[in-house]
Amino acid sequence: MRVFVARRLPGRAVDRLRAEHEVELWTDQMPPPREELLARAPELDGLLSLLTDPVDADLIAAAPRLRAISNYAVGVDNVDLAAATERGIPVGNTPDVLTESTADLALALMLGIGRRIVEGDAYVRRGEWRTWGPSLLLGRDLHGATVGIVGFGRIGQAVARRCEGFGCEVLYTELDAGVELDELLARSDFVTLHAPLAPDTRGLIDASALRRMKPTAYLINTARGPLVDTDALAQALHAGELAGAGLDVTDPEPLPRDHPLLGAPGLLVLPHIASASHATRERMADMAVDNLLAGLAGERVPNCANPEVYER
């Protein structure tokens, strides 16, 4: 069977896929253009996609032989699950595997932005460090801080365990549990987002929510960029209404070089690398290939984002 893999993957997982199927591997660093995907679609039995690849209804319709889709990510925002399910195509994803790595990065962003790590590095490299001074690059402590966790699933709970080790007071909000969002925003020194992207969470942190936060507080986002109103965040930072923000995800992603947010003070932004450890990314590749091999063999996909496909 013919399979398209939308990017090089860490580890040896693609070799396992090649041992059983004909693999077309996209080797460019940039995602395959849409016209490239559409051109290849009619001959494909399997597709291993990334979050940057829109697998929409039109693409699925253009692939009459398609038997399985495997998304190299926990989220499947880029895949039209309804269209795939209608065709009886299982969609695999890679849950659980990046929980601990994402929690690590959330703490790294808290420490990095609070203690001004990037600013300090740049200060030294510019040759401006000539003597030590009591007011040089003063920051804020994580230990003893109040950390508000928005979304208390696996990753949110992993962040809470780490924060407890720093002696933090941990607040959380999750559906009907924890504290109300308004209270969490008002009390927290660090607000860290770990909620899924859904219609009711898109733009959750808007101008009104940012105004509820302390002017000394920091916003951390390692979940999904559209949880935050980017323009409102840029305005809050430029106005000094927020101490800073540490972002691994943005909306749009990537940000244009001239976007106002990138010129805002107190910003630490990363290129969506929460899962970017060797062990995690290789495990994700193995899971994605396992999903695809099972789907192509007519077996149940072990990590299936649309399990209702098996109830049809």
Under the banding of pLDDT at 50, 70 and 90, the label for residue 135 is very high
- More confident position, 198 or 170: 170
Q: What is the model's pLDDT at position 224?
A: 94
Does the pLDDT at position 312 exceed 80?
Answer: no
Residue 119, number of CB atoms within 10 A of its CB: 16
**Single-letter code of the amino acid located at 289:** V
- CATH H superfamily, domain 99-269: NAD(P)-binding Rossmann-like Domain (3.40.50.720)
pLDDT above 70 as % of the chain: 100
Cβ atoms of residues 248 and 109 within 8 Å: yes
Q: What is the model's pLDDT at position 176?
A: 79
Q: Which residues pair with 269 in a beta bridge?
A: 247
Q: What is the model's pLDDT at position 77?
A: 87
Q: What is the model's pLDDT at position 246?
A: 98
* Cis bond before residue 254 (omega within 30° of 0): yes
Residue range 193-216: average pLDDT? 96
Q: d(Cα 154, Cα 309) in Å, to the nearest integer?
A: 25
- How do the domains of the chain map onto residue ranges? 2-97+278-311, 99-269
Q: What is the model's pLDDT at position 46?
A: 98
Q: Across the chain, what does the average pLDDT equal?
A: 96
Catalytic residues: 224, 253, 272
Does the pLDDT at position 155 exceed 90?
Answer: yes
Q: d(Cα 185, Cα 151) in Å, to the nearest integer?
A: 13
User: Which residue in 198, 205, 199 sits closest to 235, CA to CA?
Assistant: 205
Under the banding of pLDDT at 50, 70 and 90, the label for residue 174 is confident
CA angle 160, 197, 152 (to 5 degrees): 20
Residue range 251-280: average pLDDT? 96
Q: How many CA atoms lie within 13 A of 175 on its CB side?
A: 3
Q: Which whole-number Å values give the CA distances from 287 to 13, 74, 255, in the listed order?
A: 9, 11, 30
Residue range 276-289: average pLDDT? 97
At the topology level, CATH places domain 2-97+278-311 in: Rossmann fold (3.40.50)
Q: Which residues pair with 148 in a beta bridge?
A: 171, 191
Q: What is the model's pLDDT at position 177?
A: 84
Q: What is the model's pLDDT at position 257?
A: 95
| Equal fold, 2-97+278-311 vs 99-269 | yes
Q: pLDDT of 215-250, one tens digit each?
A: 999 999 999 999 999 999 999 999 999 999 999 999
User: Which residue in 174, 170, 145 sits closest to 160, CA to CA?
Assistant: 170
Does the pLDDT at position 75 exceed 90?
Answer: no
Q: What is the model's pLDDT at position 74?
A: 87
pTM: 0.89
Under the banding of pLDDT at 50, 70 and 90, the label for residue 175 is confident
Buried b (16+ CB within 10 A) or exposed e, 59-86: bbeebeebbbbbbbbbbbeebbbebbbe
H/E element holding 4?
strand 2-5
Residue range 107-111: average pLDDT? 98
Residue 16, number of CB atoms within 10 A of its CB: 16
